[in-house]
């Protein structure tokens, strides 16, 4: 960008948000140019921190007129390069918009601004004995960003994805107009449901910040029953773990039903690859259950015992095991010593971490894992894999958390190649990547139905005629 031009643009941005809240300073732009992932850093030209909807409108109108890219940003922890500005321009950091507008403990709805973090919401819900599904990501990350990106948390076996908890939203579209989707579109006080109207919220969920900026979000929150019991098992093969998880999920008693490979159970995840000791099981699982009464809890325990015995009688290697207390706590509570701390994931690796994160039919978990294990070990990386059931149905998350040495270009490229190879295997078996970096988006689009791509392009063109919103991320 021409220096004179840059100065004028900065002045205009400062006139909108105040001098202190818009900058082109190199060291600040540098801090927004990279994330933990294998995606190559790219510098923005400006970093702007808005605090009001009207400011976002003004910024987008101006950016549209001048054809300047705008990348919405909250904490940059998505580990897919999703806030790395492909074409420079403005990083619009929304952290200052961090008001919890309302918590309605009767309607079980909270209305939040995009900068509200998981830690902040957890603290605000606690006095009402309410909860949301906390992800195992950093507690400083935004609840809204996670929800609109189809993120997952600790209640996904019961309530599904964070995006399925969305009840209403307010958005500034790239041309600067404010729109609303869900009940708040009809009555500004009503934030309880996106149904039964056309689901316009879908235009902003899973789009990676390429169609608009969410400025208010309604989400369902849930009671926190007093009796928590987490059932833990281990076994020797992925097939045995799949069989147990499938069986248990049929009874729909779990808020979270997750299996993790030996490598993911280590703190930190081994980097480079380290063989598992022969005597250790290869898979561990936790099944989180909540009950309101002792009798309800006993009934759940009875079901779990039934499943455990059925699996043993089938001749699988499933057996009960014990997790450390802190690890159990980490599955349901914030803060935690174990999860959310990126150093626990990648301190050995030199600060890099990426994932092939997918929604995959459960019956494909075992064959995909076996292939992933081969690929990852051949790249000297740990097969640190997680499988989680979604909404009591037989599909769910299959992902590998891959630490690597980000200080080394060669090791970063090695991780990228391994992860993209893993992703191809999963796509070929019917899986779908979530929060996809551009490399993944290209792989998805190669396989996409032409009608899907055509509609995607038409919608993008309609909402963002000058392609200013996080351009390049959809790989189209």
Ligand X SMILES: Cc1cc2nc3c(=O)[nH]c(=O)nc-3n(C[C@H](O)[C@H](O)[C@H](O)COP(=O)(O)OP(=O)(O)OC[C@H]3O[C@@H](n4cnc5c(N)ncnc54)[C@H](O)[C@@H]3O)c2cc1C
Q: Answer yes or no whether residue 83 interacts with ligand X by CB under 6 A.
A: yes
Q: Answer yes or no whether residue 82 interacts with ligand X by CB under 6 A.
A: yes
Binding mask 111-130 for ligand X (x = CB under 6 A): ---x----------------
Nearest approach, Cβ of residue 471 and ligand X (Å):
11
Distance in angstroms (rounded) separating the CA atoms of residues 418 and 422: 6
Q: Answer yes or no whether residue 139 interacts with ligand X by CB under 6 A.
A: no
DSSP 24: -
Q: Answer yes or no whether residue 138 interacts with ligand X by CB under 6 A.
A: yes
Nearest approach, Cβ of residue 421 and ligand X (Å):
22
Angstrom distances, CA of residue 95 to CA of 59, 144, 450: 16, 11, 38
Q: Decide: helix, strand or coil at residue 90.
A: strand
Residues 6+ apart with CB under 8 A from 59: 13, 16, 17, 48, 50, 70, 90, 92
Q: Answer yes or no whether residue 342 interacts with ligand X by CB under 6 A.
A: yes
Q: Answer yes or no whether residue 131 interacts with ligand X by CB under 6 A.
A: no
**Distance, first Cα to last Cα, the chain:** 24
* Stretch of 10-18, 148-156, 194-202, 411-419 lying at the interface with ligand X (CB under 6 A): 148-156
Q: Answer yes or no whether residue 145 interacts with ligand X by CB under 6 A.
A: yes
Do the beta carbons of residue 120 and residue 78 sit within 8 Å?
A: no
Q: Answer yes or no whether residue 75 interacts with ligand X by CB under 6 A.
A: yes
Distance in angstroms (rounded) separating the CA atoms of residues 463 and 460: 5
* Stretch of 146-154, 190-198, 260-268, 360-368 lying at the interface with ligand X (CB under 6 A): 146-154
Q: Decide: helix, strand or coil at residue 162.
A: helix
C-beta of 145 vs 249, nearer to ligand X: 145
- Partner residues linked to 358 by β-bridges: 398, 433
Residue 145, number of CB atoms within 10 A of its CB? 28
H/E element, 160: none
Helix (H) and strand (E) counts in the chain = 14, 21
Letter string b/e over residues 181-195, b meaning 16 or more CB atoms within 10 A of that residue's CB = bbbbbeeeebbbbbe
Interface residue with ligand X among 10, 94, 194, 253 (CB under 6 A) is 94
Q: Decide: helix, strand or coil at residue 48.
A: strand
DSSP 453: H
**Is residue 461 exposed (0-12), middle (13-18) or buried (19+ Cβ within 10 Å)?**
exposed
Q: Answer yes or no whether residue 89 interacts with ligand X by CB under 6 A.
A: no
Q: Answer yes or no whether residue 352 interacts with ligand X by CB under 6 A.
A: no
Nearest approach, Cβ of residue 441 and ligand X (Å):
12
Interface residue with ligand X among 13, 121, 208, 221 (CB under 6 A) is 208
Nearest approach, Cβ of residue 170 and ligand X (Å):
10
Q: How far is CA 33 from the centre of its chain?
A: 20
* Stretch of 1-9, 143-151, 225-233, 240-248 lying at the interface with ligand X (CB under 6 A): 143-151
The alpha carbons of the chain give a radius of gyration, in whole angstroms, of 22
How many residues of this chain interact with ligand X, rule: CB under 6 A?
35
C-beta of 291 vs 412, nearer to ligand X: 412
Region 440-459 residues binding ligand X, contact defined as CB under 6 A? none
Interface residue with ligand X among 48, 84, 146, 257 (CB under 6 A) is 146
Region 401-420 residues binding ligand X, contact defined as CB under 6 A? none
* Stretch of 209-217, 303-311, 367-375, 443-451 lying at the interface with ligand X (CB under 6 A): 209-217
* Stretch of 47-55, 123-131, 140-148, 297-305 lying at the interface with ligand X (CB under 6 A): 140-148
DSSP string, 244-263: HHHHHHTT---SEEEEEETT
Give the orientation angle of helix 294-313 with respect to helix 238-249, to 10 degrees.
140
Q: Answer yes or no whether residue 345 interacts with ligand X by CB under 6 A.
A: yes
Interface residue with ligand X among 73, 242, 369, 390 (CB under 6 A) is 73
Residues in contact with ligand X by CB under 6 A are 36, 71-79, 82-83, 94, 114, 135-138, 141-142, 144-146, 148-149, 151-152, 208-209, 213-214, 342, 345, 435, 470
């Amino acid at each position: 960008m021409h220096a004179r031009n840059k100065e004028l643009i900065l002045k205009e941005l400062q006139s909108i948000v105040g001098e202190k809240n818009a900058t082109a300073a190199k060291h600040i732009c540098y801090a927004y140019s990279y994330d933990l992932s294998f995606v190559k850093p790219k510098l923005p030209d400006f970093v702007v921190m808005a605090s009001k909807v009207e400011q976002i409108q003004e910024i987008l109108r101006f950016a549209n007129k001048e054809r300047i890219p705008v990348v919405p940003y909250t904490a940059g922890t998505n580990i897919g390069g999703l806030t790395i500005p492909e074409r420079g321009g403005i990083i619009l950091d929304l952290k200052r918009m961090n008001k919890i507008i309302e918590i309605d403990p009767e309607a079980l709805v909270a209305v939040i601004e995009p900068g509200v973090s998981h830690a902040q919401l957890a603290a605000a819900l606690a006095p009402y004995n309410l909860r949301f599904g906390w992800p195992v990501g950093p507690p400083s990350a935004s609840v809204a960003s996670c929800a609109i990106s189809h993120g997952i948390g600790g209640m996904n076996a019961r309530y599904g994805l964070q995006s399925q908890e969305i009840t209403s939203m307010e958005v500034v579209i790239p041309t600067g107009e404010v729109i609303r989707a869900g009940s708040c579109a009809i009555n500004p006080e009503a934030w309880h449901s996106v149904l039964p109207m056309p689901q316009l919220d879908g235009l902003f969920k899973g789009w990676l910040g390429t169609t608009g900026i969410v400025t208010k979000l309604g989400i369902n929150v849930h009671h926190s029953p007093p009796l928590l019991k987490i059932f833990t098992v281990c076994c020797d093969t992925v097939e045995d773990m799949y069989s147990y998880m499938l069986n248990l999920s049929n009874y729909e008693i779990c808020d979270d039903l997750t299996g993790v490979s030996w490598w993911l159970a280590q703190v930190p995840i081994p980097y480079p690859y380290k063989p598992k000791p022969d005597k250790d099981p290869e898979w561990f699982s936790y099944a989180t259950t909540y009950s309101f009464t002792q009798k309800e809890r006993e009934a759940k325990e009875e079901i779990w015992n039934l499943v455990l015995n059925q699996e043993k009688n089938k001749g699988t290697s499933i057996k009960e095991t014990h997790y450390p207390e802190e690890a159990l706590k980490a599955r349901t509570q914030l803060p935690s010593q174990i999860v959310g701390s990126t150093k626990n994931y990648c301190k050995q690796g030199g600060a890099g971490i990426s994932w092939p994160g997918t929604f995959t039919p459960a019956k494909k978990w075992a064959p995909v894992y076996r292939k992933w294990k081969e690929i990852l070990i051949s790249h000297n990386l740990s097969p640190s894999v997680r499988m989680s059931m979604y909404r009591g149905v037989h599909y769910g998350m299959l992902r590998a958390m891959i630490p690597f040495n980000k200080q080394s270009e060669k090791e970063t490229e090695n991780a990228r190649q391994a992860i993209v190879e893993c992703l191809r295997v999963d796509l070929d078996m019917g899986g779908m990547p979530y929060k996809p970096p551009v490399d993944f988006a290209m792989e998805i689009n190669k396989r996409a139905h032409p009608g899907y791509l055509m509609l995607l392009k038409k919608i993008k063109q309609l909402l963002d005629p000058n392609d200013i919103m996080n351009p390049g991320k959809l790989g189209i």
